[in-house]
Amino acid sequence: MSDKMHIKLTVNGAPREVLAEPRELLIHVLRERLGLTGPHIGCETTHCGVCTVDMNGKSVKSCTVFAAQADGAEITTIEGLGTPDDLHVLQRMFHEHHGLQCGFCTPGMITRAHRLLQENPDPTEEEVRFGMAGNLCRCTGYQNIVRAILAAAAELNAAREAAQ
Amino acid sequence: MNDMTPEGREERRGKLKGLGHARRRVEDARFTQGKGNYIDDINLSGMLFGDFVRSPHAHARITSIDASAALELPGVVAVLTADDLRPLDLHWMPTLAGDKQMVLADGKVLFQGQEVAFVVARDRYVAADAVDLVEIEYEELPVITDPFESLQSDVVLREDLDPEAPGSHGPRRHHNHIFLWEEGDKAATEQAIESSEVVAEEMIYYHRTHPCPLETCGSVASMDKVNGKLTLWGTFQAPHVVRTVASILSGIEEHNIRVISPDIGGGFGNKVGVYPGYVCSIVASIVTGSPVKWVEDRMENLMSTAFARDYWMKGRISATKDGRITGLHCHVTADHGAFDACADPTKFPAGFFHICTGSYDIPVAYVAVDGAYTNKAPGGVAYRCSFRVTEAAYMIERMIEVLAIELGMDAAELRARNFIREDQFPYQSALGWEYDSGDYHTAWNKALEAVNYEGLRREQAERVEAFNRGETRKLLGIGLTHFTEIVGAGPMKNCDILGMGMFDSCEIRIHPTGSAIVRLGTISQGQGHATTFAQILASEIGISSDSITVEEGDTDTAPYGLGTYGSRSTPVAGAAAAMAGRKIRAKAQMIAAYLLEVHEDDLEWDVDRFAVKGAPERFKTMAEIAFASYNQAIPGVEPGLEAVSYYDPPNMTYPFGAYICVMEIDVDTGEHEIRQFYALDDCGTRINPMVIEGQVHGGLTEALAIAMGQEIAYDDLGNIKTATLMDFFMPTSWETPTYTTAFTETPSPHHPIGAKGVGESPNVGGVPAFSNAVHDAFRPFGLRHSHMPHDHWRIWKVAHELGLHG
C-alpha cells in the first residue's frame, strides 16, 4: 500500500496538502495527518454523525468519505467555526442551553447545525429535529440541543434583520 | 458596603454560584470548540496500533494459529497469542465478579467476537490488514445461547472450572451454573403467598442490551523502560481500581503505574470493567518498548465489551382482595455469557436486585438468582443503573400492573394503597435495606394531577369505545411508574470491588489569593463534575465556584477513589467534598479567631466569611483567611489551607420518582407516538437544576431506546445480529419526544448536604414507564404481559395475537 496520493484541500480556510493512501478515510486524514481532533469516530457506518464535517457546503460523515474524494474540496470542521475570543453563536447557545454533556457528539452536532441553519435559516422545532436526525447523542435526549439550535437561529435572524 | 443585610447576604450567596444554582458548565468551552481530549486523540511519538483477531464462532476449539503471513507484512511489529501471555500469567485475568476471563483465547473460544490474537503494527490500516492474515483453524462445538438450556445441557462451556468445586459465590449445582444467590425469608414468603386471596404470576424478561456510549473503549499504554514507569490512558470509569488491578496483574509496583482517564465520551457502565484490550496494550508496550494504542470499533464494542441486563425474572406477588400486597417472590435466571464479568460489589453477585420490593410496603419477600454461562459475550454491567436496580424496578413495576389486572383495580390506586408512608422512614425493607427518606404519596399525587390522570383514563375509555365502533385504529396507553432506587455504593462494611472498599475521596488546596484546586477519586463522563462539585464546595467554603478548579482521573494526583458509576459520585465523592470543605472551614475558623482576636466560639459562618457574633461588621472573608494562612505565623496552627476527606457512607441513598408516559399506538403498523412524558424526580438536595434536568432528558432517552427497540440479539448459532448501529436501535432527535420534568425535594438524612444522586433514575424509572404504556394500551383487550423491546414488529404481533386485526 505504498502508492500514496497527493491530495490538496482547503481546511478551515487554509490550503493543506497530504500524501495519503487511496483507501484512507477523510476522518483519519483530518485527525491523524492534519491534527484536527475535533471530529470524532463513533460507528464507521455513517449512523452516529460524530465525524460530521462540512464539505463543499454540505454536511458529510467523514468516516465514510475517502480522503481522495475530498481532493480539491473546501472542508470546514468544528475548529473552523469560532475562536476562543469570538465563539460561533451555536457554540455559545449549546453552552447556554446545556446542549452537551460528554461532548463527544458536540463537534459533529454543531457542525451539522451550522449547515442546517444555512439550508434553513428559520427552522421550526420539527425541522430542526428532522434536520439533525443524522447525528446521535447518548447524553442529552436532544431536548436542549434543539433549544440551542432554535435560540441560535433566532439570534442570527435578529442580527440579520438589524443589519437590513 | 452593607452586605450584612439579608439582601446583601443573598447577593453574596448568589456570587458564589453554589448549591441550587443553574450554573453553566465549565467543561463546555473545550467540547464546543473541538478541544476535548478523548482516548483516540492521544498521539505519542512512535506509537503503535493494536487490533484484535476475533473469533467468528460462538463455541469452538482452536486447533492452530499461524501468524507467519501477518508477521511478514511490512509494518507489523508483533502478533500476541495466549501462548505469548502464558509465561507472564496474563493469558487469563480476574473479573470484577470473582470469575476469570481469557485475555486471549486459551485453547477454545466461548463467544463470537472473542479476542484470539492481538496484532501490533505501525498504523491502524496495517494492523487491520494483518488481522486478516492471521490464520486460525477452529473445530466447532455445540452452541448454547439459552440460559435455561445451559443449566440442563451436557455441553461443558467452562472446561477450565472444576465442576465439583464451589465458585466464588458458593456451590455450583451444574457445570454451567455460576451461583445461586438468595435473600429474604423463603418459607414465610411462600406461606404468605399461598394463603393470600389474590396471586399474580408472570415471567418477565429484561432483554440483553448494551450501554453503547458514542465513544467506544480504548487505551494507550506507554512503558518507559528507562524509569520503569507505566503510563496507561484509557476509557476508565474507575481509574484507581484499574491501577491496582494493573499492578496485581503485571507485578509492576503500584507507584510505578500512572493511570489517566482523559475526557470520556460517555460511559453508562460500559467503561467500568477491565477488558482484554487494555491488558494487551500494556503487554504490547512492554514487549515492543513503544507506546501502543488500542481503540475498538463499534462492532467490537457491541459484540465484546460488556452487555447489560439479560434477566429472566419469574415473579409471584400476592394481595388481599382490596389490594394490600402481602408478599413477593422472585426467581431470576441470569444469563452472564461466557465469563461472569458483572460489575457488581463483591458480595452482591446479583447487584442490588433485592431493591425489587420497590416503593411498596411489602411485609415479606424472597428473591433467588441463578447465574448461568452461555456462549454469549461476558459482562452484566450496570447500564446507567446501580447494579441490577433497573431489572428490579422493571420487575416490580410490571408485577404491580399484572396484579392490578388480577384485582380489576386501577394501577395508580393500587400503587398509592401500598406505598411506604412518609412516617415509616427510615424504612426497613423485607429484603434487608434501610430506605433513608421519601415522600411517595406527595410525589405521586403531584404527578397524577399534573397529567390530569382522571381525564386521561376517561379519554382512554372513550378511545376503546371508538376503536370498537371502528372509528379509529389507534389506542391510548398510560404508562405509570413509581420507582425507588438504591445508589451511592457504598458502605465499606458490605461494599467492595476486588477487596477495595467503596469509599470515595476529595482533596482541597486553597491558594493564597483565595482560589482553589479540588481533586476527587471519581471521573466525569459527561456528568459535569467540574461544574457541580465546585458548587458543593462554594457553599461549604465560601469561595465562588468560578474560582475552584476540579480535577479527576489522574491517579498520580487525585486521591484514591472507586470511580463513577452506580450514581455514586454525588452520594459518596460529593459527601467527601462537603466533609473536606468542613475541615477547611474548621481551620479557617481558628485562623479567623486569631486575626479578629476573639475566641473561636464567638465566630459564626456567614456565607463567605467568619463574622463576630453580634458584630457582623467585624469579619474575615475566606479569601483573607487563605492569605493569612500562608503569610502569618499563627500560634498552634500549621501554615497552609488544605484538607483531605475519605468518606465511607453510612448507608446508600434512595432517590425516587413518579413517571407517566402517554402513548398512542397504531394497531395496524405497531408504530407508537409518545404524546406526553412527565418525569418527577426526587433526588434529595438539588445541586444544579440545569444539570439534573439534562441528566433526566438523557436517561429517559436511553430508557426509550431500551424499552422500544434496543437489544443485543443472537441467533441459535451464537451469531450476534445487532452489532452495528444499523441494527442496534439508538433514537435520533426525530424519534425522541419532548419531556416535562418536575421535582420534589426530600433530602437524605445521612448525606452531609442531603443529596442522593440522579443520573440513573430516568433509565431505572423510564423503562417501565414506556413499557407499561404499551401494555396499558392493550390491557382493555386482555394483554397481561409481553416481552420488551416493544419494536414495531413486536407491537404489531401483540395486536395480531389479541385478534385486533380482524
**B543 and B630 belong to one structural domain:** yes
Q: Looking at the partner chain, which of B214, B693, B726 has a beta carbon nearest the beta carbon of A138?
A: B214
Cβ atoms B270, B712 nearer than 8 A: no
ipTM over 0.95: yes
**B725 and B674 belong to one structural domain:** yes
Kindly state the average pLDDT of the residues A14-39: 97
Domain-terminating residue out of A47, A80, A113: A80
Q: Looking at the partner chain, which of B129, B215, B725 has a beta carbon nearest the beta carbon of A45?
A: B725
Active site (catalytic) residues of B: 237, 384-385, 760
Phi/psi for B528 (5° steps) reads 85, 35
Q: Are B214 and A105 within 8 A, CB to CB?
A: yes
**Touching A: B residues 464-503, CB under 8 Å:** none
Kindly state the average pLDDT of the residues A125-135: 98
Q: Is B46 left (phi over 0), alpha (psi -120 to 50) or beta?
A: left
Going from the C-alpha of B340 to that of each of A16, A133, B11, B149, B313, the distances in angstroms are 50, 37, 55, 18, 19
pLDDT band, residue B806 (cuts 50/70/90): confident
Domain-terminating residue out of B304, B326, B355: B304
**B722 and B610 belong to one structural domain:** no
**B638 and B665 belong to one structural domain:** no
**B16 and B50 belong to one structural domain:** no
Q: What is the pLDDT of residues A69-119, one digit of tens each?
A: 999 999 999 999 999 999 999 999 999 999 999 999 999 999 999 999 999
**B454 and B542 belong to one structural domain:** no
Which residues does B190 contact at the CB level (< 8 Å), separation at least 6? B329, B366
**A16 and A71 belong to one structural domain:** yes
Report the amino acid identity of residue B184. Answer: G
Domain count within chain B? 3
Q: What is the pLDDT of residues B726-782, one digit of tens each?
A: 999 999 999 999 999 999 999 999 999 999 999 999 999 999 999 999 999 999 999
* Chain B interface includes A93 (CB < 8 A): no
> Where would I find the H helices in B121-178?
124-133, 147-150
Is the pLDDT at B1 greater than 70? The verdict is: no
pTM for the whole thing? Answer: 0.98
Domain count within chain A? 2
Kindly state the average pLDDT of the residues B1-15: 86
Q: What is the pLDDT of residues B493-538, one digit of tens each?
A: 999 998 899 999 999 999 999 999 999 999 999 999 999 999 999 9
**B639 and B784 belong to one structural domain:** no
Q: Is B2 exposed, middle or buried (0-12, 13-18, 19+ CB in 10 A)?
A: exposed
Q: Chain-wide mean pLDDT for chain B?
A: 97
**Alpha carbon distance B157, B786 (integer Å):** 31
Chain A residues near residue B691 by CB distance under 8 angstroms: 98
Q: Are B527 and A101 within 8 A, CB to CB?
A: yes
Range of the domain at B109: 46-141+216-264+271-304
Which residues does B593 contact at the CB level (< 8 Å), separation at least 6? B599, B600, B602, B603, B610
Q: What is the pLDDT of residues B59-81, one digit of tens each?
A: 999 999 999 999 999 999 999 99
Residue among B324, B315, B328, B318 at smallest CA distance from B413: B324
**B668 and B540 belong to one structural domain:** no
* Chain B interface includes A107 (CB < 8 A): yes
Kindly state the average pLDDT of the residues B593-612: 98
Q: What is the CATH classification number for the domain harbouring A40? A: 3.10.20.30
**Alpha carbon distance B199, B217 (integer Å):** 46
Report if residue B787 sits inside a domain.
Answer: yes
Q: What is the pLDDT of residues B716-725, one digit of tens each?
A: 999 999 999 9
Q: What is the pLDDT of residues B481-497, one digit of tens each?
A: 999 999 999 899 999 99
Grid cell in block for residue B269:
457502565
Going from the C-alpha of B374 to that of each of B178, B337, B371, B728, the distances in angstroms are 11, 5, 10, 21
Report if residue B292 sits inside a domain.
Answer: yes
- Helices A143-163, B689-708: axis angle to 10 degrees equals 120
Phi/psi for B315 (5° steps) reads -105, 145
Q: What is the CATH classification number for the domain harbouring B688? A: 3.30.365.10
Report if residue B259 sits inside a domain.
Answer: yes
Q: Looking at the partner chain, which of A40, A43, A128 has a beta carbon nearest the beta carbon of B725?
A: A43
Q: Are A142 and B733 within 8 A, CB to CB?
A: yes
pLDDT at A89: 98
Is the pLDDT at A1 greater than 60? The verdict is: no
Range of the domain at A154: 89-163
Chain B residues near residue A144 by CB distance under 8 angstroms: 694, 697
**Alpha carbon distance B685, B757 (integer Å):** 9
Kindly state the average pLDDT of the residues B667-681: 98
DSSP line for A36-94: --SS--S-SSSSS-TTEEEETTEEEEGGGSBGGGGTT-EEE-GGGT-BTTB--HHHHHH
Cα dihedral B770→B775→B780→B784 (10° resolution): -150
**A67 and A103 belong to one structural domain:** no
Q: What is the CATH classification number for the domain harbouring A114? A: 1.10.150.120
* Chain A interface includes B330 (CB < 8 A): no
Q: What is the pLDDT of residues B277-304, one digit of tens each?
A: 999 999 999 999 999 999 999 999 999 9
**A76 and A93 belong to one structural domain:** no
Report if residue B159 sits inside a domain.
Answer: no
Q: Are B34 and A144 within 8 A, CB to CB?
A: no
pLDDT at B2: 64
Chain B residues near residue A39 by CB distance under 8 angstroms: 34
Instruction: For residue B61, give the 3-state DSSP assignment.
Output: strand
Report if residue B146 sits inside a domain.
Answer: no
Q: Are A95 and B527 within 8 A, CB to CB?
A: no
Task: State how far residue B531 is from chain A, nearest Cα, in angstroms.
Answer: 11
Q: Which residue has the cell 407508537?
A: B672
Domain-terminating residue out of B647, B676, B708: B647
**B375 and B447 belong to one structural domain:** yes
**A10 and A76 belong to one structural domain:** yes
* Chain B interface includes A152 (CB < 8 A): no
**B462 and B315 belong to one structural domain:** yes
Chain B residues near residue A38 by CB distance under 8 angstroms: 33-35
pLDDT band, residue B556 (cuts 50/70/90): very high
| Share above pLDDT 90 across residues of chain B, in percent, rounded to a whole number | 97
Question: Which of B28-37, B327-336, B377-386 shows the lowest per-residue confidence on average (mean pLDDT)?
Answer: B377-386
Which residues does B749 contact at the CB level (< 8 Å), separation at least 6? B426, B436, B437
Q: How is chain A split among helix, strand and coil, in percent rounded to 5?
A: 40, 20, 40
Kindly state the average pLDDT of the residues B313-334: 98
**A36 and A97 belong to one structural domain:** no
Chain A residues near residue B528 by CB distance under 8 angstroms: 101
pLDDT at A123: 98
Interface test with B, best of A111, A138, A147, A149 (most B CBs within 10 A): A138
Interface test with A, best of B30, B32, B44, B303 (most A CBs within 10 A): B32
Q: Looking at the partner chain, which of A1, A32, A100 has a beta carbon nearest the beta carbon of B31?
A: A100
Domain-terminating residue out of B603, B629, B647: B647
pLDDT band, residue A2 (cuts 50/70/90): low
**B331 and B442 belong to one structural domain:** yes
Domain-terminating residue out of A27, A57, A80: A80
**Touching B: A residues 26-85, CB under 8 Å:** 28, 31-32, 36-45, 47-48, 50, 77-79, 82, 84
Interface test with A, best of B24, B30, B33 (most A CBs within 10 A): B33
Chain B residues near residue A95 by CB distance under 8 angstroms: 24-25, 28-29, 32
Domain-terminating residue out of A58, A80, A102: A80
Q: Looking at the partner chain, which of B40, B214, B526 has a beta carbon nearest the beta carbon of A136?
A: B214
Pairing outcome for strands A74-76 and A5-11: parallel
**A25 and A59 belong to one structural domain:** yes
Kindly state the average pLDDT of the residues B315-343: 97
Task: State how far residue A107 is from chain B, nearest Cα, in angstroms.
Answer: 6
Q: Looking at the partner chain, which of B35, B38, B702 has a beta carbon nearest the beta carbon of A138?
A: B702
**Alpha carbon distance B262, B554 (integer Å):** 8
**B296 and B317 belong to one structural domain:** no
Q: Are B36 and A104 within 8 A, CB to CB?
A: yes
| Share above pLDDT 70 across residues of chain B, in percent, rounded to a whole number | 100
Q: What is the pLDDT of residues B422-455, one digit of tens each?
A: 999 999 999 999 999 999 999 999 999 999 999 9
